[in-house]
């Protein structure tokens, strides 16, 4: 550890002592922060996939439900949610002046617009899942009818 000079003020001596103590740890914190910035969007996408899969599992009024983490509708909803969120962020940052038009209520208006777009994406993902499940049920029904027809003949 480096010796602090005695002619320096006490606060500067404490700062040097703290810096000397934390400098070996600082590269770990810096690399952790860089890794967090790099993995920020994949982590968010993974958490949203879990949340949306849970919503799509709990919300439909069905008797027999089967848990699936990755469905076509959930994957579509996560990808579109990321696209809509990043696109809406770029629009608000660069092309709109909500503060000039709406004043202090602009934050609430922007948040409500983002909620609207998020809800729309969730509904589209749910519709995709519903159509896929309906097509699978229709396919099973047709296969059952064909099997019965073969047995009767």
Q: Are 106 and 96 in contact (CB under 8 A)?
A: no
The mean of the pLDDT values for the chain is 83
User: What does the pLDDT read at residue 18?
Assistant: 62
pTM: 0.69
Range of the domain at 27: 1-38
User: Does residue 61 sit in the same domain as residue 125?
Assistant: yes
Distance, CA of 79 to CA of 81 (rounded, Å): 5
**55 has pLDDT over 80:** yes
State yes or no: pLDDT of 1 exceeds 50: no
Kindly write down the DSSP assignment for every residue of 101-122, as one continuous string: HHGGGHHHHHHHHHHHHHHHHH
Looking at the structure of the chain, the number of domains it has is 2
Shared domain check, 33 and 49: no
For residues 9 and 66, membership in a common domain is answered with no
Neighbours of 46 (CB within 10 A): 12
Residue 149 has a CB neighbour count (10 Å cut-off) of 9
Residue 17 pLDDT exceeds 90: no
pLDDT, average across residues 27-31? 75
Beta-carbon contacts of residue 72 (< 8 Å; ≥ 6 apart):
128, 129, 132
Average pLDDT of 60-78? 85
Residue 27 shares a structural domain with residue 56: no
Q: 134 with 69, same domain?
A: yes
Task: Please state, in angstroms and rounded to a whole number, the distance separating the CA atoms of residues 111 and 116.
Answer: 9
Assign 78 a pLDDT band (cuts: 50, 70, 90): very high
What value does the mean pLDDT take over residues 40-53? Answer: 92
Q: What is the mean pLDDT of residues 116-145?
A: 90
């Amino acid at each position: 550890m480096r010796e602090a000079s005695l002619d320096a003020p006490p606060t500067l001596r404490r700062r040097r002592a703290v810096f000397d103590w934390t400098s070996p740890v600082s590269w770990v914190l810096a690399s952790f922060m860089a890794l967090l910035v790099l993995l920020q969007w994949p982590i968010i996408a993974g958490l949203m996939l879990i949340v949306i899969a849970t919503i799509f599992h709990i919300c439909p009024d069905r008797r027999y439900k089967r848990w699936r983490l990755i469905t076509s509708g959930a994957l579509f909803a996560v990808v579109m949610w990321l696209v809509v969120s990043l696109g809406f962020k770029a629009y608000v940052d660069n092309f709109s002046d909500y503060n000039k038009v709406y004043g202090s209520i602009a934050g609430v208006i922007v948040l409500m617009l983002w909620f609207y777009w998020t809800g729309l994406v969730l509904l589209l993902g749910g519709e995709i899942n519903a159509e896929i499940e309906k097509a699978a049920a229709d396919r099973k029904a047709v296969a059952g009818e064909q099997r019965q027809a073969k047995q009767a003949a």
